[in-house]
Amino acid sequence: MINNRDIIKELRKLKSAQPDSGFVAKNREKLMAVLNAEKIRGQEKKELAKFRNIWYDVTSTIFYKLARPAGVFLLIMCLLTGGGVGISFASYNSVPGDVFYPVKLTIEKAQVSMQTKEEDKVKLEVEFAGRRIEEFNKVREKEKLENKKAPENTKVALDNFKKNIETAQARLEKIKEQKFTEETAKIMSLVEEKTTEYAAALKNISDAAKADKDKELSETDLKSEPIETEENNSADNEQLNGNNTDAEDSKEDGKEQMADAGIFIDSTSTSTPIATSTSAAETDKIEENLNGSATSTDAIATATPIVAEKNEEVKDADNKSEEIKVLKEALEISENLSIKAVDIIIDKKNSGEINISKEEIANKVKNKADNLKTKVDVIKDKVAEIKSDSKDEEDKKMEIALPAIKQENLKLGNNNDVGTSTKDTVGKTNAENITKIDYVLNEVNGLLEQGDFSTAFGKVKEANELKKSVENKIDQESLEAAKTGENSNEQEK
């Protein structure tokens, strides 16, 4: 029997025992494989945890802070799952009045919010403003194809254009207070170029809208002439204009008169021929009146669609006037942003914050001045046209009034020629402002040669304000002339 002492001896012998080398090597490989697998698994867990943290940051920051609007959130989720490509494309090509247009605007806002630099935000706002002009033109094309006017949709496009430009201008004020870089200067130049381009496009659209309005008004006047002639030559014109009693009431009155006539005949002796003859004559007269009432009613029925058509034309003219007004506002703020961008570039050049060449700045100022001169030349032609129209109108009035005036002057012993003077509706103010614009712009080149960019551009801004003043007066005078023409037409009718 093995006792405890023998066991202890055998265990002590194991201290000097050497394991089999093959066994050791084999088990070492197994152990290292297990350890390496655990290490790789640990690294994968760390990478997964890191990815989860990034994903959490993205979703919490972008989805909830930047994309809080439900439309954007749903759209982004749809895009992430691969099902939003069609929606994105549809919204990108949408215009005011389309289902996906609000989605398009919301995506644009999210894009702006994701930018960290104000310069990049301005760049996007200006880019989106260009889309608004494209949308306006697409809506117009759609109106022509469908032969259906949608002034509310064109107004939405113009209002959104104004919002984009106004937002960009507000951001420019922030940029002006920040440190400028060469990249910022490039973006400012881009803003100036794009807004100048937009202003030119809006000017063309506005001119076309004014031409359409004038054409529609002239066509309306032509349509009204035969209508008025027919009404004036109608035998029942007086009843058509002054009769407030409808046909049914007229017939009822006629029946009562007939009844009265019948009673009169019955109440007299049948042997009285005069009474009978008189009653018959009265009956014929009453029937004639009834027929006249029916004719008048037919004339009213014929005139009703004409009146409705005229009301529709007046409504279209009002919509066109409102559109022209909004176009003018959009054009003005686009020009203002373009001028603001150049103003900031010159200011930063003078402070030494940007290294832009004098030639580049001089070209920007000169381009503004030349562009302004071109606009002033157009204004001069417009003023000359208004003067000519005004003179023709005054001459017509004088032709009518001249004989009576001359005769009155002869009675008073006054031999002065009263037919040579006409009223200048344009007024001296416009002429003075136009002359001043020319004078101010002529100073620009000399100042640029001296390298005084700030003063030169100040002259451009001064001339631009004078131009606006003249344009406003011309618009006001054109409106008054149109009202005068309408009143004259009404009096002639």
| pTM of this prediction exceeds 0.75 | no
CA distance from start to end of the chain = 147
* DSSP type of residue 451: T
431: left (phi over 0), alpha (psi -120 to 50) or beta: alpha
Q: What's the rounded Cα separation, in Å, for the pair 270 and 309?
A: 57
More confident residue, 309 or 218: 218
What is the per-residue burial (b if ≥16 Cβ within 10 Å, else e) of 222-243?
eeeeeeeeebeeeebeebbeeb
pLDDT band at 19 (very low <50, low <70, confident <90, very high): low
Q: What's the rounded Cα separation, in Å, for the pair 479 and 477?
A: 5
Of 332, 227, 245, nearest in space to 289 by CA: 245
Cα distances from 140 to residues 96, 149, 214, 215, 414, in angstroms, run 11, 8, 18, 17, 60
Q: Which two tokens stand for residue 58?
A: 């993205």
Query: Contact 375/204 with Cβ under 8 angstroms?
Result: no
Secondary element (H or E) of residue 70 = helix 70-80
Least confident among 216-220, 266-270, 356-360, 464-468: 266-270
Query: Contact 279/258 with Cβ under 8 angstroms?
Result: no
The whole-number average pLDDT for the span 439-464 is 91
pLDDT band at 273 (very low <50, low <70, confident <90, very high): very low
- Angle at which helix 453-492 crosses helix 273-350, to 10 degrees, equals 180
Close Cβ partners of 15 (under 8 Å, ≥ 6 residues apart): none
The whole-number average pLDDT for the span 216-243 is 54
More confident residue, 63 or 348: 348
Query: Contact 444/456 with Cβ under 8 angstroms?
Result: yes
Q: How confident is the model over 133-180, as pLDDT tens digits? A: 999 999 999 888 888 877 899 999 999 999 999 999 999 988 888 888
Cα distances from 201 to residues 83, 192, 197, 327, 469, in angstroms, run 37, 14, 6, 10, 21
Is the predicted pLDDT of residue 71 greater than 70, yes or no?
no
pLDDT band at 92 (very low <50, low <70, confident <90, very high): confident
Is the predicted pLDDT of residue 116 greater than 80, yes or no?
yes
